[in-house]
Structure 1
């Protein structure tokens, strides 16, 4: 490389700070709660050198990107520091709090990276704090240094009842510091204790993971020393600096539990020689006990599998280790946070009817609010669902790794006892069918909005079929599985029936045919063959439904006396396509666009799968005003939803076909 090598030495530090003491609703437009900032060298407000600014921009971009893929902390460097350079090196450091990974971390890091230059303009060093993160950068190497000044604190308005309670709280926090720095070397720890028979208290300690255990302990003890001066009379409090934080409160404010799974990683940090001797002695005894227990569990599990009924029923509980294998499957590499059941119960008011959003084929969906105010949709797998475990694993495996603006985002999961729960982003405008098939609500769906929804669904399917790492077939695309966000953007949901194809694989066959009445392609319903063209067929039905504002299933009950697809085909052949259009669109529509979408819909529902376009072609056709479209052939007849399984897996040997239709009743979510 010519000239001097530009370099940016980068670590990253973002750690999920304190959850707000005042609960609030976080909408899509809201950023993480801003806590404070330290814009160092405030008297020196001058333009940064172009080289430094370039490297700073590169650093902030890397922090934001890396947070989406790492396990909450990482380090990296761009180039090398060489003597006699031009003072353009920038050092940064991020580290998410130990109980949160994935989306929650990445969302805050991205926000902090975007806003730090606005809050601290023209600064060579800055620290900015949010409820979910701290972002720090400097022109000097600060890695490994303990920074306890400046510090911040926040308190609850309610006071403690006695000095005894104060002392118990401080002793509890000292115990957490010991666990974080001596017993586990995690550099963070969270736990709770019973203050009385009716009251519990919770605490968390956290350090920047570039520190040693001794450095972490030094920082945490410095924060705890400030508590008597600022906070001990308060029921809840938090004290923090750039290198660490401590937090204490009367509610369970931490979201996800991952400290147990991080213990092995943390042990690699090591400890002093005397401590190692003690740990090894205890570990040997523990390992022997664990080995005996593991052998017993292996024997018991193997025996249980042999004893499984002839009906192939899955046991009510799911083995945690087997679920971990699903998470780390090489082709998917899922790293999804888990959320405690107690947090879900609190967020949904113990799965109350008031928080229920709807009922799907594999269980109910509830609206919840996390301790930080973020709204979520909680999908609770029904324990009575015979096929639920497989669909649950499917949904975890696929959607956790699928990232697209037209796919619903999976935030976390929960596997405790008999519960199997998925936690999604909350979408306030419910599902497409909630609006489209309601005579009053569909008036809000003008033509521009319906066309936007048609385009968005097409782009989401294109990503699944061609742009994601695996070719994913959804197999249950329908109006109730299209959710709408605050701005009415469509997001494909419900991947319980999805299947992945390896590279070069184009179709597959199954004897377990599942889909939804009116949306299933004929080759799938009759022969069990499915491919990307199966989804294309479902998409075509959906396009026609969006245009006419009526369901394909049950359309024959109208005055037309036939299915929607067949009716659309007949009026197309008669040159009267616009008769299909929903009358409420007359004032807002552009006729040529409506005609084109009907044309594309009919191309997608052709009986022969080979005649249907791919989704990449559909996206191009939707975007082009001049593209010449081929004439469609006659569509297939609508086919209902069914399951075809062998007698050994049926509930009755006489019942070789089971009606598996899903009835969905959705409220806003």
Structure 2
């Protein structure tokens, strides 16, 4: 999801022209279907909120209104904040127009924010109203290099704007210090500036009346600090969020007389001109020449001192950061081990005890003095992310308790040594059973394969829906699934996990981490992080478990296909999908395996909105008689000869028979019918 949007706008204000009106929208991902319940709820809200806001505008609490309509997942929440000097009629018209603008600019979007001169309106399927004052970082920037102030020094103008806006913020916060019935964080101000070019600068600041004074000051204060950076030398500008906003201009833009009038800071003195002096004498020139080596020596000494100081400061800062992380980790519900204990348990990290090796470190088997078996992951600090990964994994795993998640026993940090201690999982990782050796790969029975698929789904369900904070694993793959002595799966390796709090469902990252072949396209290409990237990885895992083949098999000589997704989809569209499953399966087990392939294909769709969420996956796995929608072409499908286009243009019903062929019928065979079962 897109969190509460903050937009920094450099407004173009030609000095000889009238003020131009502003009207634009910011759209988030996620769309509702035409004639859906969500659309109906949004229509109800759009009809009610303008009147509610205008009633508030007519009172003393500013034109602020909120509303929520419907129930999850079709619930719509909205907020409207009219400008503090708008009357009831203008407020109502602005809010009503904002919904029309949002529909025009963000058609079918479940989450949109519209900014106009007279009001700010946001509606969303997320519970953003629960997080008063929480504004996201800058998401949009509009500026024009030709519109900068030129007649006066830019530094002076910036200082005058900051002084004006700080005073305006103080007045706005003070104005909202009344009772809840009269709270109105709104102020206008004017500043006397340069009489020749820009006689006055006008300012305005506003917060939503639901905020506390401290929240209002914090929100607006952060915005004021951005002015010198984002609105550097602009004759007018705005910083906009749904909870607070401010504006300044060299032209008046608000109604009525200003609530505050101040004077500008003094103009900085012009730079001193170098004085003209008589030519130096021969003696003076000799002294200057003699002074050059001394000057160079002094400069070298100074640079050495500064370098030493910078190095010491860097080391101290790094140590302080490390100490801070360690203090946070120590508060987790796990044991802090000493290095000597772990060395003894692993026989000084002997090669014979090595269980595996990955990009972030090596895992060793160990035994504590009380006989308890453990697995110790020794992180590689040279990768640059060792401490951060340890910190992330400790904070995540210390709070998680689920049978399908590996349990973290504790950690150890000693100088540059960083280690994580887990419960020891007897049978190792899933990839050893699926891919390592053909003879061992066939050791998994279908009951075990299905139990592994279902257990992984339950672990993801806990991470996405049932834990105290939503967790996106980001690196689900076969060698991060461990199997205990009962062959029950446990999801491991949370060093790359992403925590999403505050009811948010989407975020974005500039650093792509994970394993290619398991990465969803929107994450690998654009860095978009949501629960649906784990669903994609789960879909790849399901197809690998059922077929016992890797998704990417480059260079291993096992297959000539580009990837497993392409291969499975080709078999699917040709109606011979049964060829990729164990030929010894019959009856119910055969149908169950085909159903898992169907679910896997649904999970690897290109569009994240087309993938089911994890509760739907659990439902599909546990209800054999439940209908499934037909999949479309999966992501990363490479096959120019595919006839999938004809297979995906309609919504046909697929039925499995005992031979594994796929037919189009109106009646199900063996109780397995596959059509649409969950909302898109």
TM superposition score normalised by structure 1: 0.47
Larger Rg: 2
Q: TM-score with structure 2 length normalisation? A: 0.46
